[in-house]
Amino acid sequence: MNLNKNQKETIRGYLFVAPVLLLLFLFSLYPLFKTIYFSFFDIRLASMNRKVFAGWKNYRLLFTRVNPSFFSQILPATVYYVVGSVAGQIGFGFLLAILVQQKFVKGREAIRAIIILPWVVSGIIIAISWRFMYEPRLGVLNYLLASMGVGNPPTWLNDERLVMGCLVVANIWHGMAFSFIIQTSGLHSISDEVMEAALVDGANGFQRLTLIIIPLVRQFLVLNLILTSMATINSFDLIFAMTNGGPMFKTEVISVQMYHRAFGFGRLGEGSAIATIILLMNLILTIFYMRMNKNQSEGGDG
Amino acid sequence: MNLKKVILLIAVAALLGTSIFAAGAKEDVSKPKEVTLTIYARAYTFAQDAPWVYAKAELQRRHPDINFTFIEEGFGWADMRTKFLTSAAGGSPPDVMMTDIIWLGEFVDSGLLVDVTDRVAKWDEWDDVVDAYKDATYWNGRVYGTWLNTDVRVLVWNKDLFRAAGLDPEKPPKDWNELHRMAMQATNAPHYYGFGFPGTLEDESVMKFYANLYSNGGQILTDDNKKAAFNSPEGVEAMSALIDLIKAGATPTSIVSGKASDIDNGVFQGKFAMASMTKAYGLARDLIPGITPEEYKNRFGLAPIPHAPGGVPATMSGGYLLTVPTGSKHQDLAWELITIAAGAENQFKYTAARGYVPTFKSLMARGADYVEVDPFFSVILDALPSAFFRPSIPEWTEISAEVQNVMQALILGRMDVKEALDLAAKNVDKILSE
């Protein structure tokens, strides 16, 4: 077969990316399609070879189950956890990145290393540490409160009104470092000349932050938003180890519900349906953020 | 290359190949066969000599021609079931599985366990197994494993906390009314509480309710296992007996996230004056290193679980079978390991060390030997006739979860007992009707 130079180049290009495409197919696309396929079957973990076509039944069960209810328990818990964690992680990460960037800060590298530490620790270890912090009788928090004279300190993870807030705080502490790294990169991308020019023009700190820094690091913020949102929606280990979805399903976020249905009760079909819903949630969020970023970029250009 | 050379080359290659094969074959004869056996069991079973250390050594002694490698994976209760199901689904189950008796129906119905009916018939210790326990190893008329141990829940109390409360340390409560009164008296919140029971989402949490339920004349499911029966008037009273302790302040609401191990340990650590539990002596020895039977007897007490006023003594029993998963590549060796691990000699060492109950007639007759190790063993043995089992039907995990869910709501005071049990019963009926 006679191929011209361009065709040979194209084939060579495909050959170079073929191993990556193969890996992508094996470890991402195949499991993804298999999960969607399973979501339409009544299939048990204990007997995967005996599957019965169930149509939309697994999806219907997710949305119609009473205890926990998707709309009054799972979805609000998920939204609370994701919004709280993402806002906190990005907000504090960004704030810390700006603070550490200041010229008067000495030992910046050491401070950065310390800030990044929680991120490299396993989620389970973080969960155990925070469980101990929140422990009503022996925990650090209640010890501090008692030493300040608080007579009836909260029971934290056992209190249905406080438990989700406790998880969000732990997750912010765990994930803030990731935002810090991204936002530090963003701040590094701003040239000193721009900031100096703003100073010469008499811009105060707030104006420099809102009119120069945030618009210039917007791409980093959006990337941070996408990655953190997806990681939080999918996150499981921290909640599983701290509360296992309780008490009374107050922390039963969708990923924990997926685990309980698929592995706790062995209903793989239902678990797959929930996984498919999580995938859709991730997709919707990603499209939303990317559109938001695109619109703002186009607006900025004009 | 000419034909002669080709033939010569082939002949040399064939000669070499044959020599290598022969050498390999010769080496096979002299070299022991390599066999890897994987064991999934509760983590604590690997922390002592019986059952596994002895069993592995004995299996190796019996098969000098085999070089065994044992992979031991230890788990918590719920993780063990999940790990087994996922490994079976992935086509790589262990060779030996420690199966909670309540999982038997689910595992067998899913084709995950080897039928060992013919094997037990050839096992010389099988006839020694107590008939009631032997019966429990059957599913659809076939045997799927043998007992490592059984257990019963008994009331354990901390005598120091009883003394501090002005209670007689040698007189435990006999019925719910006495329990309530004494738990109130023994409470010194927030330092320690009169009675503890777990509230987290695990089967052990609802065992306390089931014991009360049977004591009060109720039952978990109907006789045909087709409908929930725990929401009967007897069930409401049984659950109320526990929830009233919370309302009275004798049990803290923080137990809602307390695992059974937290609560049980709490009695030995002075956080709770009383709790019902199994393997009490094993826990005491884990938590108080070097505790002697005499010290144990002076500091703690064991008695039957307080019964319903006018009711019957009742306790819940459970335990583990050792089973061979269908995907095991070494089913005969796995079964041989099981018969050593769960044989009478090894079972004595294991059950005596942890405060569990044996399942062999010959061991039941050795009460004096057990009392030498565990001074309260007679209390455990005496509780056996009043022991009830949970139904080991395939739907059990989901059924139990429904009761656990409403129990959390009750602990936090979010529901009325009747309303909560009716809700759970409605969900259980739905599960059973599917």
Please indicate, yes or no, whether residues A2 and A100 belong to a single structural domain of this protein.
Answer: no
In a mutagenesis test of the B interface, which of A69, A152, A263 is the best target, namely the one with the most B β-carbons within 10 Å?
A263
pLDDT band for B5, please (50, 70, 90 cuts): low
Contact A264 B78 (CB under 8 A): yes
Q: What is the pLDDT of residue B25?
A: 47
For residue B252, the chain A residues in CB contact (below 8 A) are 136, 155
Please indicate, yes or no, whether residues A267 and A136 belong to a single structural domain of this protein.
Answer: yes
Q: What is the pLDDT of residue B121?
A: 95
Is the Cα dihedral B106, B112, B118, B119 positive or negative? negative
**Would an 8 Å CB–CB cutoff place A58 in contact with chain B?**
no
Please indicate, yes or no, whether residues A250 and A136 belong to a single structural domain of this protein.
Answer: yes
Q: What is the pLDDT of residue B6?
A: 54
**Would an 8 Å CB–CB cutoff place A69 in contact with chain B?**
no
Please indicate, yes or no, whether residues A12 and A157 belong to a single structural domain of this protein.
Answer: no
| Joined tokens for residue B77 | 């209760």
pLDDT band for B209, please (50, 70, 90 cuts): very high
The tens digit of pLDDT for each residue in A151-203 reads 788 889 888 889 999 999 999 999 999 999 999 999 999 988 888 898 888 88
Please indicate, yes or no, whether residues A182 and A46 belong to a single structural domain of this protein.
Answer: yes
Bridge partners for B316 per DSSP: B388
Please indicate, yes or no, whether residues A78 and A31 belong to a single structural domain of this protein.
Answer: no
In a mutagenesis test of the A interface, which of B77, B102, B256, B411 is the best target, namely the one with the most A β-carbons within 10 Å?
B256
For residue A243, the chain B residues in CB contact (below 8 A) are 257
| pLDDT of A301 above 80 | no
A165 by Cβ neighbours in 10 Å (0-12 / 13-18 / 19+) ranks as middle
CA A67 to chain B, closest CA, distance in angstroms equals: 8
CA A246 to chain B, closest CA, distance in angstroms equals: 8
Q: What is the pLDDT of residue B406?
A: 93
| Mean pLDDT taken over chain A | 89
Name the range with the highest mean pLDDT among A100-114, B7-21, B174-188: B174-188
CA A27 to chain B, closest CA, distance in angstroms equals: 15
Mind giving me the DSSP string for B127-180? GGB-HHHHHHTEETTEE--EEEEEEE-EEEEEHHHHHHTT--TT----BHHHHH
Q: What is the pLDDT of residue A1?
A: 65
Q: What is the pLDDT of residue A266?
A: 87
What percentage of chain A reaches a pLDDT higher than 70?
97
Please indicate, yes or no, whether residues A95 and A22 belong to a single structural domain of this protein.
Answer: no
Name the range with the highest mean pLDDT among A44-48, A126-130, A287-291: A126-130
The tens digit of pLDDT for each residue in B265-292 reads 999 999 999 999 988 888 898 899 899 9
The tens digit of pLDDT for each residue in B296-332 reads 999 999 999 999 999 999 999 999 999 999 999 999 9
For residue B78, the chain A residues in CB contact (below 8 A) are 264
Contact B86 A45 (CB under 8 A): yes
| Joined tokens for residue B357 | 């109950």
Domains, chain B, ordered by start: 33-149+318-388 (3.40.190.10), 154-316+389-433 (3.40.190.10)
Q: What is the pLDDT of residue B27?
A: 44
**Would an 8 Å CB–CB cutoff place A249 in contact with chain B?**
yes
Q: What is the pLDDT of residue A299?
A: 54
| pLDDT of B20 above 50 | no
CA distance B13 to B28: 22
Please indicate, yes or no, whether residues A21 and A134 belong to a single structural domain of this protein.
Answer: no
CA distance B138 to B116: 10
| pLDDT of B18 above 60 | no
| Residue B82, number of CB atoms within 10 A of its CB | 17
The tens digit of pLDDT for each residue in A12-68 reads 999 999 999 999 999 989 999 999 999 999 998 888 878 899 999 999 999 988 778
Please indicate, yes or no, whether residues A244 and A131 belong to a single structural domain of this protein.
Answer: yes
Residue of A243, A248, A268 with shortest CB distance to B409: A248
The tens digit of pLDDT for each residue in B22-63 reads 444 444 445 679 999 999 999 989 988 889 999 999 999 999
Which helix H or strand E contains A4, and what residues bound it?
none
| Mean pLDDT taken over chain B | 90
The tens digit of pLDDT for each residue in B366-377 reads 888 888 888 898
Bridge partners for B96 per DSSP: B39
What percentage of chain A reaches a pLDDT higher than 90?
56
Contact A158 B401 (CB under 8 A): no
CA A117 to chain B, closest CA, distance in angstroms equals: 29
Contact B256 A263 (CB under 8 A): no
Q: What is the pLDDT of residue B9?
A: 58
Please indicate, yes or no, whether residues A14 and A113 belong to a single structural domain of this protein.
Answer: no
Report the CATH number at residue A107: 1.10.3720.10
Mean pLDDT along residues A216-240: 91
Mean pLDDT along residues A3-15: 89
Q: What is the pLDDT of residue A246?
A: 81
CA distances to A88, A232, B109 from A261, in Å? 30, 20, 19
Please indicate, yes or no, whether residues A137 and A11 belong to a single structural domain of this protein.
Answer: no
User: Which stretches of chain B sit within 8 Å of chain A by CB?
Assistant: 78, 82, 85-86, 88-89, 106-107, 109-112, 190, 199-201, 252-254, 256-257, 271, 397-398, 401-402, 405, 408-409, 411-412, 414, 423, 427
Closest by Cα among B174, B188, B169, B166 to B249: B188
CA distance B409 to A68: 12
Contact B254 A158 (CB under 8 A): yes
ipTM for the predicted complex? 0.74
Contact A67 B397 (CB under 8 A): no
Contact B86 A263 (CB under 8 A): yes
CA distance B15 to B10: 8
Structural domain total, chain A? 2
Q: What is the pLDDT of residue A203?
A: 87
Q: What is the count of residue pairs from A and B with beta carbons less than 8 Å apart?
A: 74
Please indicate, yes or no, whether residues A281 and A157 belong to a single structural domain of this protein.
Answer: yes
| pLDDT of A297 above 80 | no
CA B110 to chain A, closest CA, distance in angstroms equals: 5
CA distances to A114, B112, B115 from B92, in Å? 42, 11, 18
**Would an 8 Å CB–CB cutoff place A162 in contact with chain B?**
no
CA B406 to chain A, closest CA, distance in angstroms equals: 8
CA distance B341 to B382: 26
For residue B253, the chain A residues in CB contact (below 8 A) are 155, 158
Q: What amino acid is encoded at B49 in this protein?
A: D
Closest by Cα among B88, B95, B29 to B59: B95
Q: Which domain holds residue A104?
A: 39-301
Q: What is the pLDDT of residue B22?
A: 45
Residue of B106, B199, B423 with shortest CB distance to A46: B106
